Amino acid sequence: MLGRCSGTVIVVGLVVPAVSSAQMTGTGVELSELSWVQAEAVLTAETVIVIPLGAASKEHGPHLRLDNDFRMAEYLRHRVLAAADVVMAPTIPYHYYPAFLEYPGSTHLTLETARDVVVDIVRSLAGYGPRRFYVLNTGVSTIRPLEAAAAVLAENGVLLRFTNILEVAGEAEEKVTEQVRGTHADEIETSMMLYIAPDRVDMSLAVREDNPRGQGGLTRDPSGAGTYSRSGVWGDPTLASREKGRVVVEATVNGILRDIESLREADLPGGPAPER
């Protein structure tokens, strides 16, 4: 447990205030709000570190904004901070999003770079003691490099798990979904944003594009090999509602919290701890 310590911390001859309630959000601790001396006190072998991941610039159709995933990650990070005994690292705003590059404003890292960004962040923090990490993941394509990062880190005795955004809400999503198909800027994602940040949604611009899946990412070329979508939508956001969003978001938060508690109790992989 991180503990709600008060008073002072004495380390390497320094006397500094311990982590205060102002530096904590509910149960969790914001890493960026601490001094290095305070960080040393909370980065222990028992600590679970959560790293939010959400694209700060990736297309989400005409009705949602480029920072949609980042906003979702920030919302979820605050919900986790309020409910879980974790240390929350800063949000990663860039990662592996190859499917959206035909739509201006979308950004993308190669698989190897996306993998190594996570590996390097985790190795840095694991060098201070923590061995369990959870990526609060808001993407789908991100799963592949996150799996690769987890495999690399396991060789250092570090356990990395992450959110599978398509599965974490479980049956709740199935119960409210009406669209035929889709996973991007669709009925579910739009509903979630109507619940989280309705001011970031313009339903007057929502369009249905649910063509059968092609090979590769989304494409604006009707004769292209990918899944054709002139708008960047894959699904039917016109069916979205705030109530559907409430159901899915609350189930997602609960699923993430279960993931974190499962991680806390899980056995660590073998291997030497990483060095800084």
The per-residue pLDDT for 171 is 93
CA 243 to chain centre: 22
Structural domains of the chain sorted by starting position, each given as residue range(s) with its CATH number in brackets: 19-265 (3.40.50.10310)
Q: What is the mean pLDDT of each run of 10 residues along the chain (276 residues)?
A: 47 54 68 97 97 98 98 98 98 98 98 98 97 97 98 97 95 96 97 98 98 92 94 98 98 98 95 63
What are the tokens at 82? 């309020």
Tell me how far apart the alpha carbons of residues 147 and 159 are, in angstroms, rounded to a whole number: 11
The per-residue pLDDT for 249 is 98
The per-residue pLDDT for 270 is 83
- The DSSP code sequence of 59-119 is --TTTS-TTHHHHHHHHHHHHHHHHS--EEPPPB-----GGGTTSTT-----HHHHHHHHH
